[in-house]
Each structure stands twice: as structure tokens, then as C-alpha cells.
Amino acid sequence: MSSLNLDDFTDLIERPDGGVRRDAEARRERLAVPPGSLGRLDDLGEWLAAAQAAVPVRPIERPRVVLFAGDHKIAELGVSARAAGSAVELVREVLEGGRPVSVLARRLGVPVRVVDMALDCDPASLPEGVVRHRVRRGSGRIDVEDALSPEEAEAAFRAGTAVADEEADSGTDLVVLGDLSVGGTTAAGVLVAALCGTDASVVTGRGGLAIDDLAWMRKCAAIRDALRRARPVLGDQLQLLATVGGADLTAMTGFLLQAAVRKLPVVLDGVVASACALVGQRVAFRAPDWWLAAHDSGEPAQAKALDRMALEPLLAHGVTVGEGTGGLLALPLVQAAAALAAELPERPERPESAEDAEDAEDAERQPETGPGTEPEQEAAQER
């Protein structure tokens, strides 16, 4: 019998420090730049202060990109512009520096960590630097079978929590969370539709490479069929992930929840990360207070998930590529908010003018003329 109880996260996860946030808001009122003039940067700075329990906020100096990788056999139905089982190619391109996330990470000086959860390849063929947590070779075809066995789901979830602990212990102060998957957006659509109670067509997007109409119809049918399998297990989030999620999505959910336990802020990259966050919210309602939505990817399932969690994307540039790219685009904005909150000077107190000082002295010298004073009594006697 499994010793993993997701309900424990409800008690383990606390909200960011509300008292510190109020202190940050009070400090913002005293800054030389008028309150509200920096827009969302003000909110970001206050959120970071609460997450760090520090006023002024500390700079973001050790961010990291964490990408969970896996193949999904649902891609065999032609729901993705990429061939089924080809996620390992994405992994190689990222680590060799040829993907957008690689370029941005190099430019920003942010390390990228890739975690193999269910790549459909020989482990010996993986590039150096890939973290090995594989629980199976490709997650199951969720329209007709479970993505994972219960044992595999538990192993994947625990792998995600272990990676979160490693990041927190190493001093990482913010994580950009994304995925390297083929078929992952289909699984994400199923999770969002199941948790939001919507139909398949409402959450079916076109993926990072913009599939054509026929592929969109196949994807919509796959989500519809998987959704029928998901609805009976909605009460058990780990079982839901085992049924229609997959190893990478299960690990990402574990990562998000444990990061919230460890008070490690996370930037959500795209639809897959957002779907996992939605599952995490169902497990522990305070957890989304530790997460930021990086950008609007245009995927309807992502919009649905973020709306349910009341998370507003920082950017809307139409970036659909995934792989942590949108998260890295948002990172300088978060770093700028921290720098402004910490380094802008407070307004100097208004010095007392010479005229004000003379008026104060005159007031002190002027005798009182109230009803009980001598001048008032003399006036009364004269009358």
C-alpha cells in the first residue's frame, strides 16, 4: 500500500507572508516614484517580498530552468506536428544550444536542467547532463489505456518532489518550469477539461507547431475519449494523473507542490505547466500563491487553467514554442521588479521651513484667550 498521501500538502503549504507583504506595500508608498506608476511591477515586487519574507526584496540571482521530458503514446494518433517518440530530439537540441530556450538561457546566464521521465529512447543514447528519473518508456495512450500504473505514478510524483528539494537545497531562488514533450499538450487538455468541467473542443489547441485542421480534429477526438476515462477518477488527483496525465506531468505536479512547501517561487511556462498547476491547486488550495504565469501561449486550455487559478500572464507576445521559452522571456521582468522594489530611494521627509518655525514660535508666545483665561475674565468685569 502506498505511503504517499497528497492531502498532506494542504497542511504543509502556507501562503506567502501576509505581514511582510503589507510592509512591502507600506515601503512602496514611501518611494520617490508615485505608487501605481510602475504598474504590475509594483505587485510583482510585493509578491516577491512576501515569498522571500524580506523587505526590501532580495534580487533574483540564482534562477534556473527545469524542463521535464517525456513522450506520450497518444501522439501516435497524429495529434502533434512532431512524430511520436521524438521528444529526445528536442532534448538534444536544447542541450546543444539550438532551441529558443537555449539561446535565451545562454543570454541571461540561466542554467537549464532537463529531467527524463518517460522519453521513448534507449537511455544510453541520452546526452550528457540529462537527469535520469525515467519511470517508463513513453506514457500510455490515454484514450484507451492508463498513462501510468499506480506504482509508476507514485514514482514520478516522488521524482518531481525530489527535484524541487534539490533546487531549494542548492540555493535556487526562482524556477522557470516547462516541458519537453510530444503529445503533452493533449494530456494537458484532458486534465484541464476534466477539472474545469468543459468539453474537449473548448480546450483543444493547435500546439507549439500549429497543427492543421485535420490534426486538430484528431486531437479533439483524442481528448474527448480520454476525458471519458478521466471523469470517474476526479476525486483522486494522483489517480487522475496516472489515468490521463503521464510521467512528465505527474512529476511536474509533484515539483510544483513541493516547491510551494519549500517556499520556492515558480514561473509557469505554458499549457502543460499550467495544467499541472491546476491539478496542484486541487490538491492544495494555497499552492498557486507561489506561482506566476509567464505568458499567454494562445492555448485555450492554458487560458482556462489560469482563469480558474486567478493567475494573470505577465506577457502576451504570441509565443507558442513552449520548452520554457515564455518563462525566460518573463524572467527579466521579475528581476526588474525585484531591483526596483529594493533599490529605488524613499522620499525624503519634508523639512520644516523657516516661516513654519516662526509661526510655531508665535503660537507658543501668544497667550491663551479661552473662557477661563485672565483676558477673558477682565473683559467680563468691564462689561
Give me the active site residues, please.
Answer: 323
Instruction: Tell me if residue 294 falls in helix, strand or coil.
Output: coil
- Residue 148's contacts (CB-CB under 8 Å, 6 or more residues apart) are 135, 136, 139, 140, 156, 241, 242, 245, 246, 247, 250
Residues 150 and 101: beta-carbon distance below 8 Å: no
Is the separation of the CB atoms in 169 and 250 below 8 Å? no
Q: Residue 339 corresponds to which cell in the numbers above?
A: 531591483
Cell 502556507 sits at which residue? 14
Instruction: Produce one character per residue of 369-383: b if its CB has 16 or more CB atoms within 10 Å, e if not.
Output: eeeeeeeeeeeeeee
Query: How far are the Cα atoms of 18, 19, 62, 96 from residue 24, in angstroms, in the given order?
Result: 10, 9, 22, 42
In whole angstroms, what is the distance from residue 90 CA to residue 149 CA? 26
For β-strands 63-71 and 112-118, DSSP reports them as parallel
Q: Cell match 501522439: residue?
A: 75
Cβ contact 335:322 at 8 Å: no
Q: Are 253 and 244 in contact (CB under 8 A)?
A: no
User: Of 113, 134, 112, 114, which Cα lies nearest the Cα of 124?
Assistant: 134
SS3 164: helix
Find, among 184, 156, 178, the residue nearest to 63 by Cα. 178
Q: Which candidate, 318, 87, 47, places its Cα nearest to that of 184?
A: 87
Nearest to 247 by CA among 183, 320, 308: 183
- Output the nine-digit C-alpha cell for 216: 486538430
As beta bridge partners, residue 295 has 315
